[in-house]
Amino acid sequence: MASAWRKEAASMTCHVVLSPGLGVQRRSMGPVSSAATRRWWPRLTRSLATPCGTCASTTRTASWPARSSPSPRSTWSAPWRSKHTERAPPPDIAMGHSLGEYNALQAAGAFDFADGLALVQARARATARVPGVMLAVVGLPQHQVREALDAIGTPEVQIANFNTARQLVLSGPSRDIDRVRPAMHLAGARLTRLLKISGPFHSTHMAPAGQRFMPAAQSARV
């Protein structure tokens, strides 16, 4: 009976791939030593103009998003490539947050590593021209965050991510985020933290970047 149950459970296994976004990058996050991936590192290094193992420092993240974006994309792609060849079937579910969406699309077979890298480079060049920052706010529900934003009059600051009921991320110009941060603490926030990225991602401020990225997206081989 137990053996039959295990076989039935195995047949019901759902293979899920989940990739994070740009904020996870750190110094020396790569390279990955696998034969399936090693042949791509020279191209990646040329795109970064610095070795991949050292490119994702905090300073470079803040100052050079057009170069730092390919690093987490490639590093999180590498384990998938080392375990599954391009002929392997796609996962049952592939999910990604922000930049991780490109890894999810690759895992699902939408495009290969080279085409994904080209898209990420184009995305990074487009978004690098949009000034702004992101601020994580922990300990306040959405309605209190909105009330605090309305009270200090910062319409340029938008709620970009709803991570949990009491963990939200704000996007906006640096000067406005600087005004918002102490207001969040006065409203009762337990913690606020600037994300290690240089741009107001997941907000309407990125609309111009979307227009600049459109030609690359439309010409991609998907």
pTM: 0.71
Helix (H, G, I), strand (E, B) or coil at 189: coil
| Residues identified as active-site | 98, 202
CB 79 within 8 A of CB 56: no
Q: Where are the domains of the chain?
A: 11-129, 133-197
Mind listing the pLDDT tens digit of every residue in the chain (222 residues)?
566 656 665 566 777 878 877 766 665 555 554 554 555 555 555 555 444 433 333 333 333 344 445 444 444 454 445 445 455 566 788 888 888 888 888 888 888 888 888 888 888 889 888 999 999 999 999 999 999 999 999 999 999 999 999 999 999 999 999 999 999 999 999 999 999 888 999 999 999 999 999 998 888 887
Strands (E) in the chain, as ranges, are: 16-19, 93-96, 133-138, 158-164, 167-172, 191-194
In degrees rounded to 5, what are phi and psi of residue 138? -115, 130
Task: Report the CATH architecture of 133-197.
Answer: 2-Layer Sandwich (3.30)
Q: Does domain 11-129 have CATH number 3.40.1370.10?
A: no
